[in-house]
Each structure stands twice: as C-alpha cells, then as structure tokens.
Amino acid sequence: MPEIYVTSPRGLRWPFSKGLVVESLANAGIELKAADEIAHAIEQALRESGISEISSEELKTRMTAEVRSRLGEEAARRLAGQTQSFEEIIVRDEYGERPFSKGLLVRSLEEAGFSLKEAHELAKRVEQELRKAGRMAIKVDELEDFVARIVKDTYGKDARRRYQRRLEYGGGIFVVEPGGEPRVPFSKGILAQSLMAAGMSPDRAYRLAREIERELIRQGRMVIDRDELRQMVAEHLERTIGEDVAERYLVLRAVRRLEKPMHILIGGVSGVGKSTLAAALAYRLGITRMTSSDSVREILRATTTRDLVPTLHTSSFDAWRALVEVLGLEGDPGDEVVLQGFRDQVARVSVGIRAIQERNARERTSVVIEGVHVVPGFLSHPLQSEVLQIPMLLVVRDEQVHRGRFKIRERETKGRRSMGRYLANFAAMRMIQDHLEALAGTMGVPVIAGDNLDKAIEKALEVITGRFHGLFSDRGELEI
C-alpha cells in the first residue's frame, strides 16, 4: 500500500499517522472511539482518492469537516481553533526559530528538581494547553511564563520559583570542605561512584545521585558542606535501602580521609575472576593504580634466563615441571612437588610485588594488586606499617563453574588464551587453590567465593569496610 505524506508550511514532510489524528481529536474533547472512527474514515478517503501527499492545513480542513458532519458545529469549532498534533509550534527567540520540543522542556524541568515522571507529565500538559489555545508560534519569554503558570497550578508557588530559578542551579550547586574551602561543583558522577563503592549497582547509584541533586534544588541549596552532604546521602540510603548500606557508605567516605594509602591485595588461581574483582574495586574506591602479578613475572622473565631460574619461565600451575627437570625426578611428581614448584615461582615474583608495594607506600599512593602470586605469607614489606593493607583470597569452589570460566575466556580473547592448556592442568590448579585456602585460614586472610562475581564484589567491599570499622567511633570520626 503506497505511503501518504503530510507536508508543513516550512517544507517538512512525514508519513501520515492515524495516531496523530486521533490525538488531535482527543485534545479537542472528542471521545476516543469516535476519534478512532473519524481518523479511519479520513485515512480511507485519502487512499481511495489516490492522494500521495497532503498539506497539514488541508488535513486539518478535512478533519474539521468530518467532525462537523458527525458531531456538530461546536466540536468542529473546538478542533478548528486548536493546533493539531501533526502541526509544529514554533518557539522564537533572539537567535531565530525552532520547533517546540517536549524533550528539551523535560530536561529544563528536571534541572528544576522535578522527577523524570513529573517532568514528562508537566511537559505533556504544557504542549496540550498550547495546542488547545491554537498557538502556532510563541516567544521564548512567553513560553517561560506559560510553563511557570502550569507548574504553579500543578505543584504550587515554591515549585514555580524553583523552575524560574533553575538556571542558577545548572552546575551551580557547590560542595565545600569544613571551614568553607575549597569549593567544588556538585557531581552526580562522583557521588554515584561513592555509592557504587558501598555496593550499589551503577543504575541504582546514578538514580539516587539524581534524587539527591533534585532534593538540593528543592531546598534551594546552592552550597552544602561535604559532611552534611554525606549525612544526607546516608539518611537517604538508610531510609530507602537499609542501615547496613548506609553504614558502609559512611565508613568508606571516612576511609578516604585517612592519611595512610590503601593497598588491596587479591590472590587466587587462574580463572577465579581476580582481574574483574580488582577492576571493580579500583573503580568503586577511586584507586587509579592497579597491577597484576603476571606483569611483574613478565618483567622478571625479561631480565632472567630460563637456565638460571627455570620455574619463572612457566605458568604458575606447571612450574613443577621445571623443578622436576632440574631435580631429575621420574614418575608421578606427587602433590608436594607440584606445590613446591608453585611456591618457588611465587618466591621469585613476590620480590617484584614487594618492590611495588614499597614504591607506593613511599609515594603515599593507594594501589590494587592482583594475581596468583599474591599469596599469604609473601605479602610483608619494610614499609607495611605506613599503609592500610587489605589482603583477600578469591576462590571458586564449584569445579564446573571454574572450568566454564576458561571457556568464556577463550571466547572473549578470540582463542588467544585457549582453554585446552588450562583444563589440561586443571587438577594442579585445584590443588594449588586448596593450598592457598589453607594458608589463608592459618594467617587470617579473608576468603571470598568467586562463583558469582557480583556477590564477590559485594563481599570484598564488606571485607574492606569491616577492616576499617574499628578505626571509627560511632559518630563516624577517626579514633586514631
């Protein structure tokens, strides 16, 4: 069936829409059933006449005539006196003309502190009132007054004042440190990142950040103390989500004020999700430095020959093969040889890890270090008392889930990290994981289940907040 197009006086052209005709009729107070029948009759008449293009004025004339014949003069007069849904409303300002946009108006209303739903309802009403009044063009100042009146009629004088003063708030809410300086612009992105650190999903964190911004606008707050803002966020979290999340948020915010840098150390065998967890924690905690022990091993390999340190030039799970070759062993190497090969490689790589920790400690910089070589018993260094060190071990206890990770890795790397080699050494990896978990239990290192990575991130955040909880009083202030 050939398309029928509608043209505007400004030369625009779009497909005929029965829905827009129905909407126009409904705006004129015509019941939906009758509006649908009239729209169908007009569409049928256009197709029967073979018309492929019709002006918006001619379409309006046809609609008015059809309404007059079916519903009488009064309904036709109402329809003829309004601007139809398929007709543009032009907004004029000193820079020229532009079509009225509900989307732009929604954005302006959100800047005034209205929720997205409230903003959409207000913008819809503004457009309906303009069309009912038959407005084809309006000056921008007049539109401002028109919107302000509808806002006042719907939500009262205070809401109108917020809308009229919204430009004062566009990027104009400032956060100050205790004492009044320095002053920085309020950022929904930074607040959302803080909320994600407390365990919220990104979508929920950004939604809450927007709600906090709207609340500040509603209160007319252009400047707010950082501690007051944190307390405001915590109260909102406690009210909408729970006390645990609110407490975690306050503890993590207080941790940011500590003088000591935070060193998060994540151990675990291949395929348990260490790098994913490390990246998630670094992002949520605002830590910009992240290092993998595999990178350290690659650097050491470049400076040491295979003949000199054979166990360094293998994977962690088959370092025992180099050890067997050096010792001249034959037959089944046994569990202890497998673990000895692993420990030998860890001892070599841990030298580099300690150097990284010391460097960051001297520079007073927080860092996340992850890798199979991050092993309890090999993590100490001379400057450890200068940092807040948080070790944790990530494990996947379900063997099927663990195997599946290598399949996913192979697919994501397009075969560059083939699962065959990992699965061929799977028994050795599981043995090493059991060994690491036993070490963690002996040394009091938290063990985190990595079978579900979302839950692992949440548990890791609990470990971090739990580590620092004793540093704070009930008022959220440092005891040290």
Distance CA 53, CA 377 (A): 81
- By three-state DSSP, how is residue 4 classified? coil
| Token pair in block for residue 279 | 């990246």
Contact 266, 241 (CB under 8 A): no
Residue (of 279, 290, 339, 270) closest to 311 by Cα position: 339
How confident is the model at residue 93, as a pLDDT?
Answer: 81
Using CB atoms within 10 Å of the CB of residue 401, give its burial: 0 to 12 exposed, 13 to 18 middle, 19+ buried. middle
Amino acid at the residue 360: N
Q: What is the pLDDT of residues 104-163, one digit of tens each?
A: 888 788 777 788 788 899 999 999 999 999 999 999 899 999 999 999 999 999 888 888
More confidently predicted of 199 and 344: 344
pLDDT grade for 186, boundaries at 50, 70 and 90: confident
- By three-state DSSP, how is residue 137 classified? strand
pLDDT grade for 474, boundaries at 50, 70 and 90: very low
Average pLDDT estimate for 167-183: 64
pLDDT grade for 476, boundaries at 50, 70 and 90: very low
pLDDT grade for 357, boundaries at 50, 70 and 90: very high
Least confident of 5-14, 161-170, 434-443, 447-456: 161-170
Residue 475 has pLDDT above 80, yes or no: no
Produce one character per residue of 83-109: b if its CB has 16 or more CB atoms within 10 Å, e if not: bbbbbbbbbeeeeeeeebeeeebbebb
Residue where the block lists tokens 């927080």: 366
How confident is the model at residue 257, as a pLDDT?
Answer: 66
Average pLDDT estimate for 195-213: 83
Pairing between strand 367-371 and 290-292? parallel
Neighbours of 193 (CB within 10 A): 18
Contact 373, 350 (CB under 8 A): yes
How confident is the model at residue 449, as a pLDDT?
Answer: 94
Q: What is the pLDDT of residues 372-415, one digit of tens each?
A: 999 988 888 889 888 889 999 999 999 999 998 888 888 877 77
Distance CA 284, CA 302 (A): 34
Average pLDDT estimate for 449-478: 73
Task: Give Dmax over CA atoms of the chain in angstroms.
Answer: 107
Least confident of 15-24, 318-327, 412-421: 318-327
Distance CA 107, CA 95 (A): 20
How confident is the model at residue 95, as a pLDDT?
Answer: 72
Chain centre distance of CA 346: 36
Distance CA 355, CA 375 (A): 15
- By three-state DSSP, how is residue 395 classified? strand
Average pLDDT estimate for 194-200: 80
Distance CA 194, CA 255 (A): 12
Q: What is the pLDDT of residues 205-263, one digit of tens each?
A: 888 888 888 888 777 777 788 888 888 999 988 888 888 788 878 877 776 666 788 89
How confident is the model at residue 219, as a pLDDT?
Answer: 78
pLDDT grade for 477, boundaries at 50, 70 and 90: very low
**Cis before 182? omega within 30:** yes
Calculate ∠ Cα 368-374-376, nearest 5°.
120
Contact 349, 292 (CB under 8 A): no
